[in-house]
Amino acid sequence: MRSYYTAQQIRDAEAPLLASLPDGVLMRRAAFGLATAIIRELGTVNGRIVCAVVGSGDNGGDALWAATLLKRRGAGACAVLLNPDKAHPKALAAFRAAGGRIVETVPAATDLVIDGVVGISGSGALRPNAAEVFAAVEQAGIPVVAVDLPSGLDVHTGATEGAHVDAALTVTFGGLKPVHALGRCGRVELVDIGLDLPPSDVLGFDAADVAARWPVPGRADDKYSQGVTGVMAGSSTYPGAAILCTGAAVAAHSGMVRYAGTAAGEVVSHWPEVIATPSHATAGRVQAWAVGPGLGTDEAGASALCFALESDLPVIVDADGLTILSAHPELVADRAAPTVLTPHAGEFARLAGSPPGDDRIADTRKLADRLGVTVLLKGNVTVIAEPGSGPVYLNVAGNSWAATAGSGDVLTGVIGALLAGGLPPGEAAAAAAFVHSRAAEAAACDPGPAPVPTSSSQILAHLRTALGSIL
């Protein structure tokens, strides 16, 4: 499980170490990890040229110490001091003693730039002098390794107000921060510097977390005990949504999938194992409902949504179901059973009254609290918030292969299957988002290693492959 910490949590955890260790030890510990990551990035050190762009904070000290260590290993090292009078004195002295040069601009022959301008206490866009330096670096195509976070990005939201560093690699210390999921940080490496951090309420699943939670049949299980997923999706206008959503519930390994709706014939022609009826009134017993994709917003669609939400079963609502719900939020008021909503930005705006802003975590939490449901805000970084004091889960896709028509229908079916399998709503949404993004990546890379545009049908076809790689 990945944990993400606020800047204040990191500072609080650093305080006892700073008080107990000799002066400068913690900084040199961080700098050693930074230098090690840079060596891996360069491949070879001897004869390579690195340039540290240094601000006035501790990140500038980290950058200078790392450049010093690289100089001692045979690299050419120089530094641009953006505020010479406020550069870290001990780190600067060590850098000069090792033979490092102070320069006005980044040399054209530089192989790698270290961004040590601002750290987790910084805010706002790059100042003009720093912006000018990094504009030249970008134009020259020199890769940048950022210290803690790319300067100019907000540590809590990953947003930027203007000029910022575009890093190929970010090396951070002690614990991840939200920016490392939400912002453009390139690859992220975490260096352990010995911090004793508290439990975090912002988390990210990895493959092991998904494998530990995914319902896998035991020797005593039957088709009913493995979860029966009910699907109300699709219409005469959008039968494909029913096929995608129902197929995803099958692929996610529900013990049984029941479909209720006007696309029953089309669904069975694709998935003969599905029990299909034309109406929810004859659907039979299920353990969770997946409602909304392609359903329509007419009276029939509203009736299906009300039927699901008036039950005491877990419900996942998407697409047309969200449109109906935005006009009738009272449908989820005081609902005791687990409820998951999966809006994209436009649907979020209809539900919340305004689109998500720069602070996607705070905005998603606010909507979850207001409606008393679990909210999954779709995006390249999926944000999942539970109401009250529940955790927030972040799923970083790393690409946008899932941004294609019908992709959300597939995700809805997977979440429905996990809810039917007994997972809590936040964990069901987080696990489904993880597998969904992995399936999208697998679909994009099939049949070869070079990614190509994909489709929701292909994402669905690769769900079992994605699950197999995890389980």
- Nearest-angstrom CA–CA distance, 359 and 381: 12
pLDDT of res. 453: 74
Q: Give the SS3 label for residue 276.
A: strand
State yes or no: cis peptide before 198, omega within 30 of 0. Answer: no
Per the structure block, which two tokens stand in for 349?
């705006």
Within 392-449, where are the H helices?
A: 407-420, 425-444
For residue 379, is pLDDT > 70? yes
Q: Is 227 annotated as a binding residue?
A: no
- Nearest-angstrom CA–CA distance, 440 and 84: 48
pLDDT, tens only, 11-21 = 999 999 999 99
Q: Is 46 annotated as a binding residue?
A: no
For residue 378, is pLDDT > 90? yes
Per the structure block, which two tokens stand in for 57?
């904070």
Q: Is 120 annotated as a binding residue?
A: yes
Per the structure block, which two tokens stand in for 470?
């995890």
Per the structure block, which two tokens stand in for 199?
């439990």
| Residue 257, CA distances (Å) to 106, 218, 280, 304, 414 in order | 61, 19, 13, 17, 11
Per the structure block, which two tokens stand in for 343?
């809006």
Q: Is 56 annotated as a binding residue?
A: no
pLDDT of res. 119: 85
Q: Is 395 annotated as a binding residue?
A: no
Pick the CATH number of 2-200 from 3.20.10.10, 3.40.920.10, 3.30.830.10, 3.40.50.10260: 3.40.50.10260
For residue 354, is pLDDT > 70? yes
pLDDT, tens only, 122-134 = 888 999 999 999 9
Question: Residue 335, class by beta-carbon neighbours within 10 Å (0-12 exposed, 13-18 middle, 19+ buried)?
Answer: middle
Q: For 422, which DSSP code?
A: T
Cα torsion through 2, 149, 120, 104, rounded to 10: 160
- Nearest-angstrom CA–CA distance, 424 and 412: 15
Query: What integer is the mean pLDDT of 178-197?
Result: 96
- Nearest-angstrom CA–CA distance, 166 and 169: 9
Per CATH, the number for 207-470 is: 3.40.1190.20
Q: Is 148 annotated as a binding residue?
A: yes
pLDDT, tens only, 110-169 = 999 999 999 888 888 999 999 999 999 999 999 999 999 999 999 999 999 899 999 999
Radius of gyration, alpha carbons of the chain: 26
Q: Is 124 annotated as a binding residue?
A: yes
Q: Is 166 annotated as a binding residue?
A: no
- Nearest-angstrom CA–CA distance, 12 and 64: 24
For residue 4, is pLDDT > 90? yes
Q: Is 58 annotated as a binding residue?
A: yes
| Pairing status of strand 144-147 against strand 169-173 | parallel
Q: Is 60 annotated as a binding residue?
A: yes
Q: Is 346 annotated as a binding residue?
A: no
List the chain domain ranges: 2-200, 207-470
Judged by phi (left if over 0) then psi (alpha if -120 to 50, else beta), residue 458 lies in alpha
Q: Decide if 409 contacts 293 (C-beta within 8 A).
A: yes
pLDDT, tens only, 401-447 = 777 889 999 999 999 999 999 999 999 999 999 999 999 988 888 76
State the first-to-last Cα distance of the chain, in angstroms, to the nearest integer.
16
Q: Is 366 annotated as a binding residue?
A: no
For residue 448, is pLDDT > 70? no
CA geometry: angle at 204 spanning 189 and 247, to 5°? 125
Tell me what the pLDDT averaged over the chain comes to.
94
Within 253-338, where are the H helices?
A: 264-270, 299-309, 320-327
pLDDT of res. 274: 97
The pLDDT confidence band at residue 318, using thresholds 50, 70 and 90, is very high
pLDDT of res. 450: 66
For residue 454, is pLDDT > 90? no
pLDDT of res. 121: 82
Task: Select from 58, 57, 53, 28 the least CA-distant residue to 112.
Answer: 53
pLDDT, tens only, 291-300 = 999 999 999 9
Q: Is 24 annotated as a binding residue?
A: no
- Nearest-angstrom CA–CA distance, 202 and 10: 14
Judged by phi (left if over 0) then psi (alpha if -120 to 50, else beta), residue 234 lies in left
Per the structure block, which two tokens stand in for 218?
């035991």
Q: Is 378 annotated as a binding residue?
A: yes
pLDDT, tens only, 231-287 = 999 998 999 999 999 999 999 989 999 999 999 999 999 999 999 999 998 999 999
Q: Is 408 annotated as a binding residue?
A: yes
Query: What integer is the mean pLDDT of 204-225?
Result: 92
pLDDT of res. 431: 98
pLDDT of res. 405: 87
Match 């299906």 to its residue by tokens.
304
